[in-house]
Amino acid sequence: MSAENQHWVPKLLLKNFVDAGRVYCFDIHSGEVTKPPPKFAACEPGFNDFEIDGKRVSFEDKFEKIETKAAPILKRILAERSLAGLSAPDRRHVARFVAAQSFRTKAFYEGLADKPSRSDYGTIFNYLWHSLFVVAQDIARRHWALMVIEGDDAFYLGDNPVVLQRTCEPNNGKNLGFDVVGVEAFLPLSPVCALYIACSTISRMIIDTYEQAMAVHRIARAKIFSGGGIGLADLLETQATLRRAGPIYKAFTEGAPLVATPENIDNLNYLQCSWALNKVHSNRKDFAFARKVFRQTPQYRETVRTSVLEKGRILLPPDDSED
């Protein structure tokens, strides 16, 4: 096993949440707040090293390749606070980063039912590694939005940061996965930016509703200006639909930033707390919201249950480093 610290939350994410070069870490069990450098947060020596079929296999370099390709894209997203202009390869690299982050955490391992030994987990981890390319294809095909905070609030970064919930049933935590209809995903990228990955069924419904409302609005305006018999109430109702759906429509179709409401911020921070295994990270020392979450719902200190489901044959890419 390597003596090198190997991260389950990449340093490239942790560095976005630093204050004076260090990141505040809230221990969800003790309530203690520490402030290590990113090098010593969310990591253990040899965490990504395994023995598979009698051979030592390290996934550290494999994760590093994914991170290296995603890093400049994420940096550009944060600098521009926009998803506009992302190419298909850009989306693919970010999608692989998200897919890898969904299982590479200590929380995922600790949450497995009948938790295997580290030696037995190597085989499972190898399967997960190859399956991430399949999962990433689904993520890349979804509609994304960049949620941006414009006020003084901030997003947390948990030690299990890719979090899932049902769009229409947020309190239903059963059977969550990227392949489940109605499930959306989030990943904080910085204290003021977070990636929102919508369920395709729901995002498609939002887009269709907006475009239908636009068509009705054009017809209604034309009839009003020509002296037609359409009612003003119908026009106003259509305008209200456009106002409500406009920001998310532009976020999905144009990459425009989606301003995060206080409810959006609380929801994501709540999820970061409830999915965490041990730590919640921030660029601020004040963890009042996290303390409130664990005071009101102490069961969230328990490990989130995870599972590995094999669905069909995993299609391996020709080369793990392909563009």
pLDDT tens for each residue of 180-239: 899 999 999 999 999 999 999 999 999 999 998 888 877 776 666 666 555 666 667 777
Helices (H) and strands (E) in the chain, counts: 9, 13
pLDDT score at 31: 98
Top pLDDT among 322 and 323 is at: 323
Round to whole Å and give the CA distance between 200 and 144: 10
- Kindly report, residue by residue over 189-206, the tens digit of the pLDDT: 999 999 999 999 999 999
Round to whole Å and give the CA distance between 8 and 276: 12
* Residue whose C-alpha is closest to residue 60's, from 96, 100, 113, 6: 6
Does the global pTM surpass 0.85? Answer: yes
Amino acid, single-letter form, for residue 141:
R
DSSP string, 133-176: HHHHHHHHHS-EEEEE--SS----EESS--EEEESS-TT--SS-
